[in-house]
Amino acid sequence: MGRPRAFDEDEAVRAAVSLFGGRAYDGVSVDDLVTHLGVHRNSLYKTFGSKRGLYLIALRRHIDDDVRPLAEALTEAPDVAAVLRLVTSADLGLLLLAVVERAPVDEEAAAEVAGALAAVDRAIAGALGIPDDLAAALTAAALGILLRGDPDSVGDALAQLLDHLGRQGRPTWHRSA
């Protein structure tokens, strides 16, 4: 019998998404979580089990709230430029940090990240009518542009190039045998 929880779990998870997405997993201490989430330390452990437990819940929330809607929007993208615009304007901070920081050392985080990226790949493949591996390459390029922080010039240049290649029917559009 412990003291009842006196915090909004939903709000706490949203705050955790923002905190982990801004500072990365290793950059967030339990002290940071207690301060920013407004959760008593013992309640945090009781509710989420561990910092990693909270992180995985936050990552899943980020995927549900930010990545899945992006994938849905991508299914309507008319061309490469629209794909790049949608991906580079999305809030994908926690996903990107998870890819480089947690996925290599945490199988559950890796599975969440892989599933989210696959959903984006499928949406792009369906929208543009291109093979899955080319869609994955386009996703990777778009995320790279997002990381570079220069979506307008780099994204436009890539979109023009890919649209040009697409119009020419170059073999790069097709899956290799």
Partner 1 sequence: MAQVRIDGDDLVVVMEGLDRFWAQKSSLTIPMVNVRGATADPGMAAEPKGIRAPGTHLPGVITAGTFHLDGEKVFWNVKDPSKTVVVELADERYVRLVLQVKDPRATVALIENALS
Do 145 and 155 touch, CB atoms closer than 8 A? Answer: yes
Nearer to partner 1, 10 or 107 (CB): 107
Tokens of 11: 């709000």
Task: Count Cβ atoms below 10 Å from residue 43 Cβ, excluding itself.
Answer: 19
Nearer to partner 1, 105 or 177 (CB): 105
The binding site for partner 1 (CB under 8 A) comprises: 1-3, 29-31, 34, 41-42, 45-46, 48-53, 105-108
Nearer to partner 1, 91 or 108 (CB): 108
Identity at 145, one-letter amino acid code: I
Nearer to partner 1, 30 or 157 (CB): 30
CA-to-CA separations, 29 to 25, 33, 41, in angstroms, rounded: 8, 6, 11
Task: Tell me the closest approach of the beta carbon of residue 68 to partner 1, in angstroms.
Answer: 23
Do 97 and 20 touch, CB atoms closer than 8 A? Answer: yes
Total H helices, total E strands in the chain: 10, 0
Nearer to partner 1, 4 or 129 (CB): 4
Task: Tell me the closest approach of the beta carbon of residue 119 to partner 1, in angstroms.
Answer: 22
Task: Tell me the closest approach of the beta carbon of residue 120 to partner 1, in angstroms.
Answer: 24
Task: Tell me the closest approach of the beta carbon of residue 106 to partner 1, in angstroms.
Answer: 7
Task: Count Cβ atoms below 10 Å from residue 36 Cβ, excluding itself.
Answer: 16
Task: Tell me the closest approach of the beta carbon of residue 40 to partner 1, in angstroms.
Answer: 9
